[in-house]
Amino acid sequence: MSFLVFVIFILAAAVTVYTAMKLSRFADVISEKTAMGGMLVGTILLGGATSLPEITTSFSAVVIGNIDIAIGNMLGSNLFNLLILAGFDLFFRRRQLYHLVGKNHIYSAILGLFLMLMVTLALVLKIDYTIIGIGVDSLLILIVYIVGMIVISKMPSPQENEDATKADEQEEPEEKKSISIKKAVIGFIIAAVVIMIVGSVLSVTGDRIAVITGLGSSFVGSILIAATTSLPEAVSVFAAFRLKNPNLAVGSILGSNMFNMVIIAVSDAVYQGGAILTDVSGSNLYTAIGISILSAILIWALIRNCSMSLWSYSIPSIITVIGYFVVSYFIFMG
């Protein structure tokens, strides 16, 4: 029976990877053939869709009474998303991708950092006070997210880097040309629904794995399930880079990390034991602090001037990769 749980978990992860590849392809077509553009499609459309596994996983975890998997999955996914971006940035380092994306991504990165600082503060203060069944801290995070996204949507879009523009203007592959807008939208919706369903499977099997292995819900939620539910982001980012659409890649990670903040409020609304952030394990605080630090490093990478060497360019991503494993160690020890 234990073996079957691991098999189902692996199969669900495989389905997630395949569906995410389709999701990224359809999102790229939408960004190329509409006026939305890579930044907008990546931050809102692809970022929200690739966060669907986190939503269903956290929702399911609360229903089965495991809030550490619910919050640990959300925080761990944000942490893993930053590792994804840093890893692929190092892989494509000769192209210096952070210098190719539009500077309006900085707005999203700053909002994401501010939201994570709010989560960190909530985990420290542990204010057990609810409004309409939702913790006041979760409600404030949700309000700031909504207001922040409205403000960002009204921000002027700076002129994109010429190299990025040239990359985007390269001849479209025949496969992309053959996909109509209607087909891309329908395909995107179907892929998003499949990913949402698979997220529930990952949650239930992940809960069983936590019991079988004895690793603990916080560690399993923050590392194992978080990494698995972040597979859509990983595949989407790699596909976007391969499609020469860095704005879609960076936008999907930043959008996903911000959208994951909404998951706190959703989980809190389902949780009946009070404010959810007051009852989770203290090891989640390590994750929140780590994400805050690595988010600040990402902002630094985005606002820097062009680097003179590949080594100096790669420093933020190298720090991020090392930081991920340091935070993972603290979560495990916690």
Confidence (pLDDT) at 164: 46
Confidence (pLDDT) at 168: 45
Q: How many CA atoms lie within 13 A of 257 on its CB side?
A: 33
156, with CB counted inside 10 A (0-12, 13-18, 19+), is exposed
33, with CB counted inside 10 A (0-12, 13-18, 19+), is middle
Helix (H) and strand (E) counts for the chain? Answer: 17, 2
Mean residue pLDDT across the chain: 79
Residue 248 neighbours by CB under 8 Å, 6+ apart: 24, 27, 28, 31, 38, 39, 41, 42, 46, 236, 240
Q: Rounded CA gap, 262 and 260, in Å?
A: 5
Name the residue ranges covered by the structural domains of the chain: 2-333
Predicted confidence (pLDDT) at residue 270 exceeds the cutoff of 80: yes
Token pair, residue 120, equals 């960190």
More confident residue, 42 or 125: 125
Predicted confidence (pLDDT) at residue 140 exceeds the cutoff of 90: yes
Rounded average pLDDT over 135-142? 91
Q: How many residues does the chain have?
A: 334
pLDDT per position as a tens digit, 144-196: 999 998 888 777 655 544 444 444 444 445 555 567 778 888 888 888 888 77
CATH 3.30.1360.20 applies to domain 2-333: no
Rounded average pLDDT over 31-57? 63
Confidence (pLDDT) at 175: 52
Q: Rounded CA gap, 143 and 149, in Å?
A: 10
Supply the DSSP symbol for 193. Answer: H
Confidence (pLDDT) at 167: 44
Predicted confidence (pLDDT) at residue 57 exceeds the cutoff of 90: no
Predicted confidence (pLDDT) at residue 256 exceeds the cutoff of 90: no
Q: Rounded CA gap, 26 and 60, in Å?
A: 28
Q: How far is CA 199 from CA 35, 69, 101, 229, 248, in A?
A: 31, 13, 30, 7, 23
pTM, entire model: 0.77
Confidence (pLDDT) at 49: 67
Confidence (pLDDT) at 162: 45
Predicted confidence (pLDDT) at residue 225 exceeds the cutoff of 90: no
More confident residue, 27 or 268: 268
Token pair, residue 19, equals 């569906």
Give which of 15, 17, 13, 73 is closest to 207, Cα–Cα. 73
